[in-house]
Structure formats: C-alpha cells, structure tokens
Amino acid sequence: MASASLLKTSPVLDKTEFVKGQSLRLPSVSVRCHPTAPSALTVRASSYADELVKTAKTIASPGRGILAMDESNATCGKRLASIGMENTEANRQAFRTLLVSVPGLGEYISGAILFEETLYQSTVEGKKMVDVLVEQNIVPGIKVDKGLVPLAGSNNESWCQGLDGLASRSAAYYQQGARFAKWRTVVSIPNGPSALAVKEAAWGLARYAAISQDNGLVPIVEPEILLDGEHNIDRTFEVAKQVWAEVFFYLAQNNVLFEGILLKPSMVTPGAECKEKATPQQVADYTLSLLRQRIPPAVPGIMFLSGGQSEVEATLNLNAMNQSPNPWHVSFSYARALQNTCLKTWSGRPENVKAAQDALLVRAKANSLAQLGKYTGEGESDEAKKGMFVKGYVY
C-alpha cells in the first residue's frame, strides 16, 4: 500500500483531464524503499497514482454521489418490461439518454457507472454519452466484472468472474473516457457465509482493484452483503466486519493504493425478512461503527449501495450517517433508489421525458442533501416510499 506521504498534493480533477483520447501511460513500475535487509518492503506505485487520487477526490466531492446506471442489458430489459417496453437497443438508448442529459445533474452527481454498451453508445441525438457526462462535470465509470457464477465447494454461494482479459479491457475503457471502474461481488448471510466464499470475494476484489489502478481507473470495491434473509442487524454487523477485514487484508497484499479507491458497501441493516426493523439512527450507528473498525481513513469515499431499500429509506439512512463529521466522504452510489420514480414517470413516452428528468433531479438533490446531513424527508411521494427488495436479485 502506498501511503499518502508518497503522493504530491492532489487537487480535484478538472473535467478536461478525463476526456476521451488521452494516450495510455507507461505501465506500473516498482519503487524500492531504502532497504535495511533483503526482506524490506517493496511498494508498487502506478504511473497513474496522482491521477487516481484526483479522480477519487472529484467523485467524493461535497454534496455529490454516483448514479449507477450499469445494469446489464438483461437487467435493463426487466426494468423496461415493468413499464411495458421491449428490451431493444433503441429503448435502452432512449432511457440512458434521458438519464445522462438531465439539466443540472452534475450539481448533485459526480460520477456515473455505465454498462459497456453505454460507454460506446451515443444519445438519440447522436452525441457520445461520455461527452454528455463530461460536459456536466460527471466522471464516466464502467462496470468491468462479468457477473456471478456458482462457487464450487461452497454452500450454494457465488463468485464473480471477469479477471481474464481485465487489463486489456481496462486500458480500452480508459481510452474511451472511463476514469473509474466497478466490480460487484456478493456475500449471502443465509448461506453461511462460508470462509471460502468470503476469501474468494475479497481476493477477486483485490486483484481487480490492482489491475484497474495499473490502467488508470479508480476501482470501486463492492462486496455487497445481500439483504436476503431473516437475520437481525447484529448478525449483519458481524458478517460485515469479517468481510471487510478480509477485503482490506488482500487489498494490502496486492499493493492497492488506498487513496485511489472508493468503497461501495451495503449499509448495516437487518435481513429483509427480519421482523425486527431498524430505524435510520440504528442503521447509522451500526454502519458507522463498522466503518470506524474496518476502513482506513486514507480511503477518500464511501459510496453506499441501496440494495433494494426504498428511495426514501436509502436517503434517510444516508442522512443519519452524516449528522456528525466522518473521516471519509460518506455518500451514495444508487441505481434503483435514484431511477425508480424516474422510470415509472417516463413510461416510455416522449412527452414524459421532462417530468421523468425532474423526478431524477428530485432524488439526486435529496441524496445530495443527505450527504450534507440536511435532508428532512418532507414532501416525498408514496412511490418513493415503496420498498424495492427482490429476493435473489440478479444485477
């Protein structure tokens, strides 16, 4: 792990620094710290180190968070089907165009995670999606994992594939304009979690993070602890401590630059089927306790996933965590908790585009206020209060 003392002071990234077309830089090099013995520590320093820190600071800027719009084409099809639309490239393009072109979105959104199709896609008006985001001062990101598959030898658990070819894909994504990456793996509490599944999740995340940094992409580290189950909040807390301890052990072993990553954890909540519900304050207390025990202050940003919470619930919980200063930027990286009302308002009709964009802006602003600890929850719609948990959800 390279410490902050090895880095120059890094200001927030100017949007002109992450536009498409920058040439690839030299591969990573090794820097040997003045050895006192043959076994002295070797610190790997990516040639992108300063840029990685700048990008992470830009995304973790006050009052802003991440719009996760990296649903696979299959998952996007399920969303479209919910409003009676076919899963065609044209329909996916139309919805993604609606999202990236919301006027003023960059005031509340600092980064947008894209699916590979979207990274190379243009809007319905013919402008590159990446360029539209950059003009709004939103950093483009890219989902790089290849999805979950059964983990042999486990208790019916999963592992995330995608390390094969990741270096070359990441280099190409950087050339296309992406400046951060996302890799989602999951841990299931009802299924254990087994030591094997936790280790596999942690090791995969660490290898992905190291490869991403070597190619100029800030890695979002996301071991999602699924909401599925009847377990109480204390059980979630214990599992989360175990998972994050393992994750940071392997991140350090892989010489990942902590100042150049972002985390996307689950909030510490009871299982979705638990009869004992937690208040926003309880969720905040447990989650902040977890972060203080497991997350180094060198990490610039904690961008929480919503994981099937209602739009309002996710915002209330985030707001509760920002009622006092934290060592990290505590913010959001939401998909359904930003998009749900927007999608239903749009319903695939051109005449509804402005109303749908206004709905997205309302949610983005609400979460911006929550990041600043100033959200009140007043005036929220009934739709925004509906839970979105889906048992066995596949992204």
User: Which residues have a catalytic role annotated?
Assistant: 222, 264
Between the alpha carbon of residue 116 and those of residues 97, 177, 178, 336, 380, the distances in Å are 15, 12, 10, 19, 33
d(CA 36, CA 364): 52
d(CA 390, CA 388): 6
- In the DSSP assignment, the letter for residue 324 is S
Candidates 341, 338, 265, 278; CA nearest to 305 is 265
Beta strands per DSSP E along 116-236: 139-143, 148-150, 158-160, 180-187, 218-225
Residue keyed to tokens 């509490």: 189
How many C-alpha atoms does 76 have within 13 Å on its Cβ side? 21
Strand partners, 122: 128
Q: Which residues lie closer than 8 Å to 331 by C-beta, 6 or more apart? A: 60, 64, 65, 66, 301, 302, 303, 304, 318, 367, 371
Q: Give the H or E element holding residue 109.
A: strand 109-114
R_g (Cα) of the chain, nearest Å: 20
d(CA 317, CA 266): 11
Residue 157: other Cβ atoms inside 10 A? 22
Q: Which residues lie closer than 8 Å to 246 by C-beta, 6 or more apart? A: 198, 199, 201, 202
Strand, helix or coil for residue 117: helix
Query: Do the Cβ atoms of 72 and 113 come closer than 8 Å?
Result: no
